[in-house]
Structures are given as structure tokens and as C-alpha cells.
A and B are shown apart, each in its own frame.
Chain A
Amino acid sequence: MHPTGTLIWYYYICPREVWLMSRHLTPWQENPFIEIGRLISKESYQRDRKEIRLENIVIDLLKTEGENVVIGEVKKSSRFEKSARMQLAFYLWKLNHLGIEATGKLLFPREKKKITVMLTKEIEDELEEAQQKIISIVQMETPPPARRIKFCSKCGYQEFCWS
């Protein structure tokens, strides 16, 4: 089992989502936040939009700035910056393994905000650990129990978890 960028993103928000996603039990698609999020990533930065697929990762944007390769990930809001940062770092790490040096940019079109993400030893270690944890979550027979967190009110699993 190879963790994907999406699972990394979910892992830092809620481990239960990791388990559910791993079974393709996708969240409620009409959840307003999911729908708006989908729209924003579809509509923004269309000029640079080249969805790139490498092994089991999907990269939102890719461009070259001079000598540098820049990959971008579009997010609706910076509220879950940690998740977003680790997801992008994961892509950088994957590219690194393929021999591609790149920098990451987190893009928040609604907030007109950009954050640069670089791969460091610390982040690499953290990613390593996260991937191990993700694998052990996915191997669980039943999902980690629902816990009420801030994200619940915006989550497409809210009705599933609290039904």
C-alpha cells in the first residue's frame, strides 16, 4: 500500500478520513465546502493548469521558473495549512526520488496568498513517520472512532460520522 498525497492531507486533519478514503468510501459530494473547493481548484490558475500524474500522485500545477521546477497545490483556505504543507512536501519528496529537484507553492486563490514549501531533513523524517502511521491506520479492521474536531462542521463525512 502506497500512501497518496490526499491521504497525507487527510492524515493531518483526521485519521478517520484516511481509513474511509482507503476503502473508497468517499465523502458526501454535495457538501458545500467540498463543492466550493472543487470549483476553486478547477477555475483558478487555468493558465498553468497541467494536471500531472506520476505513479500514484496527482500534481495540480507545474511550471518552470528559470531553472527551477515549481509545483503548485491549490487550496480553498489556509485554515489547514499544516495538512496542505505536508501534502505538497510529500510530492516534492516523491519527485526527489525520481531525480527531480523542485520547489512547492501552496496557492490560496481566494486569499490571494502563496506559501513556498521546501523539503528539509526534518520534513522528510516527519513524512516518513506519517506514511508509517497511515499504513497502520489503513490496516485497521474498523475505522478510528469519530472524534469531534473543528473540521467536523465543514466535513463531507460529518453526517456519516454523527448519524
Chain B
Amino acid sequence: MKVILVYDINEKRVTKVLKTCRKYLNWVQNSVFEGEISEAKLVKLKMELKKIIHEDEDSVIIYTFRSAWYTNRETIGVKKGVQELII
């Protein structure tokens, strides 16, 4: 499935969250990740994030789409990270 993840995390923990997200998804721009991942991997990612964040202070929002077909991505301004097949 297609996933878009955004977060708002206390400075103390933000690097840890960033590093964790990088293992599963592609960095898009500050605090935003996206990618196509399996259901199981998403569960795994959520488990890892839960262990890092303080639920009373930090927040992570995950949008999921069953298929990338129904999403459209438009950039205004500087083009930042995209899911690249060829690097």
C-alpha cells in the first residue's frame, strides 16, 4: 500500500524518528516520508515508532492508500526527495 507519514516530534527524539523512518520509507522533505510498503512492514514501523515517541508530546500521522493509483503528487516550488528507482 501507499503510505504518507508526517511527524511533529520533540527535538530530543526527532533524529531517532527520522532514522527509523528512513529504514522503511523515502524521505520527501522536512518531517515528511512516503513510499509503497507492505502491511507487515507498516506494523513493524509503527511498533518501532511507538517505542521512541512520547505519546503525550509527539505526534505521527500516517495516511494509507490501498493503491498508489488514487494518489496524485504535485510539487510547487523546489522539488525535493522523490521515490527514485534509479539513483
Contact = CB atoms under 8 A, between A and B. Distances in A.
Interface string A35-46: 110010001000
A30 B38 contact: yes
Nearest to A42: B47
B43 interface: yes
12 contacts: A30-B38, A30-B40, A32-B39, A32-B40, A33-B40, A35-B38, A35-B41, A35-B43, A35-B44, A36-B43, A39-B43, A43-B47
Interface band, chain A? under 10
A35 B47 contact: no
Interface in A1-36: 30, 32-33, 35-36
Contacts, number: 19
Interface string B26-62: 0000000000001111011001000000000000000
Nearest 10 CB-CB pairings of A with B = A35-B40, A32-B40, A32-B39, A36-B40, A36-B43, A39-B44, A43-B47, A32-B38, A39-B47, A39-B43
Interface of B: 38-41, 43-44, 47
A39 B39 CA distance: 13
Contacts of A43: 47
Nearest to B41: A35
A161 B36 CA distance: 27
A29 B12 CA distance: 36
Contacts of A30: 38, 40
B66 to A, nearest CB: 14
B1 to A, nearest CB: 11
Interface in A36-76: 36, 39, 43
Contacts of B40: 30, 32-33, 35-36, 39
A43 B40 CA distance: 14
A60 to B, nearest CB: 18
A147 to B, nearest CB: 26
